[in-house]
Structure 1
């Protein structure tokens, strides 16, 4: 343990120093914000569970802060709400957050978004009925596929994977259905779609419930990680869904992407530091219903790519880790 300390201090110090310089002009007003609105996601999904747990933990901490979770379609919606000042905090997949910070894809202009932490990794799920004819991504050509709700991060990653697989356009294109998590599960069970995409923690409760009613197969997606990284950068990684979840008899390799807890750039630093104190004090409770076995460690939490850390987050990490 002793030998890891200097390495962690160097990593944290270097990243935080860069973040502080990047945001030197974005320092927040000193007046504390007592009521914060947090854009989460649809009921039944991991963002919704995390938001509810964080609101309860903040209330129990007696800090004077109050967090109100706001249900949304998730990542893209959340960043638009953040850019418009409708919310103070938001959850987002890393790829969408970087698009917002850079003014790419769904965002015509850069969004003044900052990060508090990278909190956990999403696993991309591509589910089909176990007794159905589809056994690989190529087998989806021309078929109806639930590919995420409008305004969701699932929509973003699903479209990118389908393009990488040659199924995004032309005669082989799948017929993308814009459905949220609960609607997607119902549609797959009813046979209205032949596959569903989801990006979330493991296991996602709504999908675990689906798998109990309808035996499913999870299609491997790791073969597309290289193409995604070449086009969109290192926000995408190869991860593995473990055997046992959703009735799987063996592990399945897929695409992973981080999730960020974000804040508007003008949020007072005092509020950010208090939120982070609660997050690190209760991370086990916050992640229990989100993804099994996850840990929140600062050396990974500060790895927010092209999304700069909020000055209040910089101050918090420095105060705790030097």
Structure 2
């Protein structure tokens, strides 16, 4: 794979943007997750490196809402979970009857991990122990809720088995800390600030998934993959925990200007170290991860960049 020199990269990034693309919005998620710092970091990179462009990260309800924003042209870029992106593109699941065929990807940025958190002294020790409990399943319209519901249904459970609360990340952490709920789901790139903050005030436990539960989830959702939360990830976490991971995709509308999509893709991969400095989840922002994990076709501008660096682009990623 050919890597451009910094001088060549700088030269390419100097291409003038069309006037209509100078104000760019990036749909992210809540401030307690990873989307917002990642989106904010990329916005800052755009402002610093692409002449004439000004980008802003917008707080949203995350994946499901973000796909609607892309469809309507109310956001220029959005971060969304791969299963949400896949459903939107194909008109399945929560997007049945409202297919978003104009979805295109620039990259898969990092994997989310489904993290089921409770207090250390809780009697919730497994997925089945959620029965009869008060459980946060994520904000309405979030990828967390989609992932939680798919994981539960794949393992023979539903919202009828417990008292579901639809809270965002910070609200979930506060409710666990205050004893208002028994457990909560996060689907987010680890480590995430809201769980870290919770772990500094209360002793917590991350609920692991069995091999069978992981296998059942993967049968239900193609983009799920086994994922290990490493020992020491959060304060008091003294052993690794098995869960499932889902890629996060940077999506745009198919109508985005090709030169702009090219520059944005190049910027992301030629300056990844700047994004890693914002959040360690960006360590997984690689060309290889994009080629292996992206569930929908790439934008032609992104394809042009990947072809220039001789990346091996799978056929299903070409529109």
What is the TM-score when the length of structure 2 is the normalising length?
Answer: 0.87
TM-fit CA distance, 1:257: 0.4
Deviation at 1:134, TM superposition (A): 1.1
Distance in 2 (CA, whole Å) between partners of 1:56 and 1:36 is: 11
Residue of 119, 126, 138 corresponding to 1:148: 138
Q: How many angstroms apart in 1 are the aligned matches of 2:132 and 2:181?
A: 11
- State the superposition RMSD in angstroms: 2.0
Aligned counterparts of 2:71 and 2:282: Cα–Cα separation in 1: 33
Equivalent of 1:266 in 235, 251, 255: 255
Matched, 1:168 2:158: yes
Partner of 2:244: 255
| Aligned equivalent of 2:122 | 132
1:162 is displaced (CA, Å) by 1.5
State the shift of 1:292 in Å: 4.9
Question: Separation in 2 of the partners of 1:225 and 1:63?
Answer: 46
1:227 and 2:216 are equivalent in the alignment: yes
Following the alignment from structure 1 to structure 2, what is the Cα–Cα distance between the partners of residues 198 and 232? 17
Deviations 1:90-122 (A, max 9, x none): 000101000001001111222010000011111
C-alpha contact 2:134 2:165 (8 A) present in aligned 1: yes
Deviation at 1:301, TM superposition (A): 1.4
Deviation at 1:85, TM superposition (A): 1.1
Match of 1:236 among 216, 221, 224: 224
Among candidates 197, 204, 213, match of residue 201 of structure 2: 213
Deviations 1:22-44 (A, max 9, x none): xxxxxxxx876222111111112
Aligned partners of 1:143 and 1:194 also within 8 Å: yes
Match of 1:276 in 2: 265
Residue pairs, 1:1-322, within 5 angstroms: 5=1, 33-107=21-95, 108-111=97-100, 112-170=102-160, 173-223=161-211, 224-233=213-222, 235-246=223-234, 247-292=236-281, 294-321=283-310
User: Any unmatched runs of 5+ in structure 2?
Assistant: 3-17, 312-319
Displacement of 1:128 in angstroms is: 0.7
Runs of 4+ in 1 over 3 A off after TM superposition: 287-293, 303-306
Q: Within 2, Cα distance between the matches of 1:102 and 1:61? A: 35
Deviations 1:28-65 (A, max 9, x none): xx876222111111112100001111111111114322
Alignment CA distance shift 1:239-1:52 (3 Å): same
- CA gap of 1:154–1:241, structure 2 versus 1, over 3 A, is same
What are the ranges of 5 or more consecutive residues in structure 1 without an aligned counterpart? 7-29
Deviations 1:176-228 (A, max 9, x none): 10000010000001111100100112211111110111111111125322222
- Output the CA distance in 2 between the equivalents of 1:280 and 1:66: 19
In 2, the alpha carbon distance for the partners of 1:220 and 1:227 equals: 14
CA gap of 1:321–1:61, structure 2 versus 1, over 3 A, is: same
- What are the superposed Cα offsets for residues 136-181 of structure 1, whole Å, 9 maximum, x if unpaired? 11111011101100010000001111112322055xx121100000
Q: TM-score, normalised by structure 1?
A: 0.86
Instruction: Considering Cα pairs closer than 8 Å and 6+ residues apart, tell me whether 1 or 2 has the greater RCO.
Output: 1
Seen in structure 2, the aligned counterparts of structure 1 residues 102 and 241 have a Cα distance that, compared at 3 Å, is same
- Equivalences, count: 294
